[in-house]
Amino acid sequence: MTRSLREFVPLEPGKASIYLCGLTVQGPPHIGHTRNWVTFDILRRWLTHNGVEVTFIRNVTDIDDKILIKAAEAGRPWWALAYENERAILTAEALLGCPPPDYEPRATGHVPEMIELMQRLIDGGHAYAADGDVYFDVESFPEYGALSGQQLAKMQPAGDAEGAGRKRDPRDFALWKGHKPGEPETASWATPWGRGRPGWHLECSAMATRYLGSTFDIHGGGLDLVFPHHENEIAQSVAAGDGFARYWMHNGLLRLAGEKMSKSLGNSLLVTELVKRWRPVELRYYLGAAHYRSDLEFSEAALDEAAAAYRRIENFVERATEVLGETVEPGFACAEFVAAMDDDLGVPLALAAIHNVVREGNAALAGGDRTAVRGALGSVLVMTDLLGISPTAWRDVTSADLTPVVDALVRVALEQRAAARERKDFEASDAIRDQLAEAGVLVEDTPSGPRWTLKESQ
């Protein structure tokens, strides 16, 4: 709102309340949807690490024009389609290591709060009923446009042309949509102004204040929601007398070939498909690696680079753990990491700090300095955990994990290689190593014996 960096001072000391705009469940989540999941999971982890108790709300918009249209096309009840896609969110969320919100309210479960909010707006002269619809009177709220930096006098119409004949002003937006012929009766609720269903903007204002109070700390979402969605949320909430959000955070968009990713472009990439090619933790690393306010360009090459960067961290953790032969507890985050995270969640510099410690740890491994290895490992473990990419936490998180099978097969080959070396048949030993390399298995001879890793995909 202020277009500036501000120190975060919670409304209630030691506690933080966060509302994140969730999905309209017209389809399963694609990778573009998940970027703010990762961003706000990192925010929640960092606040918690700093002793702040976080209440995190993310809504589900389960009634909408697009849901009704897609359900009709599929010949299914709209609520069945919505619920199926809501369940898909839980699957994708779990795949990316994002714990669910503290509460995840559905729009259809909060119609009473929406009716109450509309009544407050009508009573205050900020909204009006028109033939079953209810509209917000934009002219009645002079501050309209402050979030998006627009002037009311120069603003274009709201865009819902279907209500143009009923609006007092083309810029007014719908709070409530009257029931239309042909729409399912189940997709409407009784109100003092007739049966109908909520407008998108009204839903979030009602749910945010229902769970976090009339004034709360942080409201988040993608940059594409600044206008009109968040602008309209502010208008209807503040006009009704609520303080609403004290801080606004918007993540940049994920783009494909220079365009915003959306279902309408037909280029969405489902999370469940992407994890067949890259491990979930590698996908998460990619989504969180850029600064949250910057746009992120999707490409296979970028994902491969992220996967390779993550594997460098993972490789150090595995080697250090093997050399030390003991469980090392998470230690302390280095000063560079802390400074980066405190500066508007500067994850790129935080990751750079992790990789610096990894390089120091690898040097300590090469030099046999166990104390330095232990310190570096403990630091890497705590810092990666704060970003949700801890190799130890993700070690057993995989679908159809074939590591034990591959390990057993590789061990057989390594035993044969060791036997060849003992009888000084180095030609056979090298041939076994080369055959493993061709299969994607790299063998490294260490003082404690041979160890293997999978070759990074090209």
- Mean pLDDT, residues 173-181 taken together: 95
| Chain segment 303-352, per-residue pLDDT in tens | 999 999 999 999 999 999 999 998 899 999 999 999 999 999 999 999 99
In this prediction, residue 415 carries a pLDDT of: 77
Reply yes or no on whether the pLDDT at 388 is more than 70. yes
Task: Please list, in sequence order, all residues whose beta carbon lies within 8 angstroms of the beta carbon of residue 57, skipping any fewer than 6 positions away.
Answer: 17, 18, 19, 20, 101, 102, 103, 104, 105, 207, 208, 211, 212
| Chain segment 394-410, per-residue pLDDT in tens | 986 654 445 555 666 67
High-pLDDT (> 90) share of the chain, %? 74
Reply yes or no on whether the pLDDT at 457 is more than 60. no
Reply yes or no on whether the pLDDT at 278 is more than 70. yes
> Bigger pLDDT: 257 or 14?
14
In this prediction, residue 438 carries a pLDDT of: 80
> Bigger pLDDT: 372 or 33?
372
Helical pair 403-422 and 426-438, crossing angle rounded to 10 deg = 160
Q: Which fold has domain 299-394?
A: Four Helix Bundle (Hemerythrin (Met), subunit A) (1.20.120)
Answer for the pair 381, 330: CB distance below 8 angstroms, yes or no: yes
Reply yes or no on whether the pLDDT at 456 is more than 70. no
SS3 state of residue 269: coil
**CA 438 to CA 441: how far, in whole Å?**
7
In this prediction, residue 317 carries a pLDDT of: 97
- The structure's pTM equals 0.84
Reply yes or no on whether the pLDDT at 263 is more than 70. no
Scanning 240-369, the segments in alpha helix (DSSP H) are: 271-274, 280-289, 300-324, 335-342, 347-367
Reply yes or no on whether the pLDDT at 267 is more than 70. no
Confidence of residue 163 (pLDDT cuts 50, 70, 90): low
Residue ranges of domains in the chain: 15-265, 299-394, 403-454
Domain 15-265 has CATH 3.40.50.620: yes
| Chain segment 339-380, per-residue pLDDT in tens | 999 999 999 999 999 999 999 999 999 999 999 999 999 999
- Mean pLDDT, residues 286-291 taken together: 97
Reply yes or no on whether the pLDDT at 221 is more than 80. yes
